[in-house]
Amino acid sequence: MKLIIKLSLTLTLLAGFTFTTQAQKLGHPRIGVGLQTIFPFGGLSVKADLTEQHSAQAVIGVFGPISSYYGRYAYNFKEDGKDFKIKPYLFAQAGVFAVDYTTFDANFQLVEAKEKSPGFGAGAGLEWHYKPFSEKLRFNVEVGYGKVDLSYYELKAIMYGGGIHYYFEL
């Protein structure tokens, strides 16, 4: 609960900072820091826009019984729009995913267990921002296919998610 309050406060301060600074044209390369989720995995994210077309992203999610550590590559298409800018992209991701759970042992006693497995996914998304508000604060939504082969929690499905990142020029 304290983590949610701290994250909310941080995002509120970032939004307030955005209002008090003049919007600047962001070039490349740039770094975005924020939150990213792709159901049921998500966490803290660092996204590097290396060029206008190529991005790399690392996500570390340690919220609750499901944890994830994955990297992504995104191919970005041309950003379009006057004030409301939209940028479509394709992505591929791979990483290690884990789940903590309670089960019974051979003596029918409850025991805590943890299982880890590699996983992968691919999909498409849209990133957008409202230029008069801020070029630095950007949102995204995405859909794709993912596979994680845990015996307790097997995931082979259409995945969906979203994120929010605040960008800094390098």
Mean pLDDT by 10 residues, the chain (170 residues): 42 40 59 92 94 97 89 97 95 94 90 92 97 93 93 80 94
Is-contact 91 144, C-beta < 8 A?
yes
By three-state DSSP, how is residue 105 classified?
coil
State the pLDDT at residue 152: 65
- Record: fold of 2-169: Porin (2.40.160)
Strand 84-104 to strand 66-76: parallel, antiparallel, or no bridges (unpaired)?
A: antiparallel
State the pLDDT at residue 22: 37
Model pTM score: 0.78
State the pLDDT at residue 64: 81
Domain ranges of the chain: 2-169
Write the CB contacts of 154 (distance below 8 Å, at least 6 apart in sequence): 148
Burial environment of residue 149 by CB neighbours within 10 A (0 to 12, 13 to 18, 19 or more): middle
Write the CB contacts of 50 (distance below 8 Å, at least 6 apart in sequence): 28, 29, 56
State the pLDDT at residue 164: 98
